[in-house]
Structure 1
Amino acid sequence: MQPSRLSPSRDRRSPRTARAGMRSRAAGFTLLEMLVVLLIAGILISLASLTLTRNPRTDLNEEAQRLALLFESAGDEAQVRARPIAWQPLAGGFRFDVHTEDGWRPLRDDLLGPRQWEGGVTGVAITYPGGDDTANRLIFGTEAVDVPVQVTLFSAAGRATIVGTGTGRFEVR
């Protein structure tokens, strides 16, 4: 018996045909692979296009917290400089002024320089407990003890009140 040229363990195709078959399988993607890629791309695009909006009430409270900390810093600065410092709300923002021999001058430093409102603030009311009048500025004196005050910030989301106890500390309510 003469042995066959092709043994059962070997591929019945020629080496050239076998290589061509492997090349054609490796050259493309299957339908399932394409669907998975499209699904992942769709999820990523939808996540990227989602616009997460913050709660306007949270923005207002954060602006009130920032302002309360600035008030405390302004009170400390007035004591260090031995000159009164005033906070004045403006259209679209606020500024701090220092009292000099020539009158009130705007502060231009990084901490107490003029700023624009954040948090959607549309209005401000400054009131002193026990008084019916509203003031147009808040003055921080050179002494550690001051008059209690309330500063209310208004926005479309509501209002936030900053309460100064007269001891140099301010808290948001």
Structure 2
Amino acid sequence: MMRAVPRCGDRALGWARRRGFTLLELLIVVSLMAVVAGTLSLAVRDPQATALEREAERLAALLESARVESRASGVGVRWVPTEQGFRFVGLPDGLALPTHWLHEGLRAEVYGAGGLTLGPDPLIGAQRVTLFLEDRRLTVATDGLQAFAIVP
């Protein structure tokens, strides 16, 4: 009985296949690395951007609180930025809202005026304030009907 003798080229080709990776295996590894890199880039946020976003959310909530209080009491209320932070002018004495930023170095600029008018009228007109922290900025605005919110 004759035995099939492997040829030299077949043996080398079979050995190379067992030693290397298939294209499918390489594609799976590359796609997993891309998913991990994308997740890490989202998880590691810039602390300045995070601080600015928190301050903007806080300011929007404070402005809405003062707006509701102004409408409930029938007294005109204004929000005015200061060098140390900000202040609410016209609020009743019993209501004490914060007057400072949580993050040092933050400043605010009201578009087109020295402050925001928060009431007592239900329609207050479109207003916006831009917060600056180092080289970043974020705007909080209302169209006069809807609540103050962060705008792109």
- Judge conservation of contact 1:72–1:168 (CA < 8 Å) in 2: no
Letter in 2 for 1:83: V
Q: CA shift at 1:92, angstroms?
A: 1.9
Q: TM-score, normalised by structure 1?
A: 0.55
Look up the SS of the partner of 2:56 in the other structure. helix
Q: How does 1:5-16 map to 2 (within 5 A)?
A: none
1:153 paired residue among 118, 126, 131? 131
Q: Which residue of 1 aligns with 2:4?
A: none
- Judge conservation of contact 1:144–1:168 (CA < 8 Å) in 2: no
- Judge conservation of contact 1:86–1:97 (CA < 8 Å) in 2: yes
CA distance in 2, matches of 1:54, 1:107: 39
Q: CA shift at 1:108, angstroms?
A: 6.3
Q: Which residue of 1 aligns with 2:80?
A: 88
Q: Which residue of 1 aligns with 2:102?
A: 118
- Higher gyration radius (CA): 1
Q: Which residue of 2 aligns with 1:65?
A: 57
CA distance in 1, matches of 2:93, 2:129: 20
Q: 1:107 to 1:154 in 2, by over 3 A?
A: farther
> What is the count of residue pairs matched by the alignment?
107
- Judge conservation of contact 2:78–2:90 (CA < 8 Å) in 1: yes
Q: CA shift at 1:119, angstroms?
A: 3.0
Task: Looking at secondary structure, tell me which structure has more strand per residue.
Answer: 1
Q: CA shift at 1:168, angstroms?
A: 4.5
- Judge conservation of contact 2:81–2:109 (CA < 8 Å) in 1: no
Look up the SS of the partner of 1:96 in the other structure. strand
- Judge conservation of contact 1:84–1:141 (CA < 8 Å) in 2: yes
Letter in 2 for 1:119: H
Deviations 1:79-99 (A, max 9, x none): 111010111111121110107
2:120 paired residue among 142, 151, 156? 142
Look up the SS of the partner of 2:125 in the other structure. coil
Q: CA shift at 1:150, angstroms?
A: 1.1
1:78 paired residue among 70, 73, 78? 70
CA distance in 2, matches of 1:96, 1:163: 17
Structure 1 unaligned spans of 5+: 1-52, 100-105, 128-133
CA distance in 2, matches of 1:107, 1:138: 19
Task: Looking at secondary structure, tell me which structure has more helix per residue.
Answer: 2
Identity %: 30
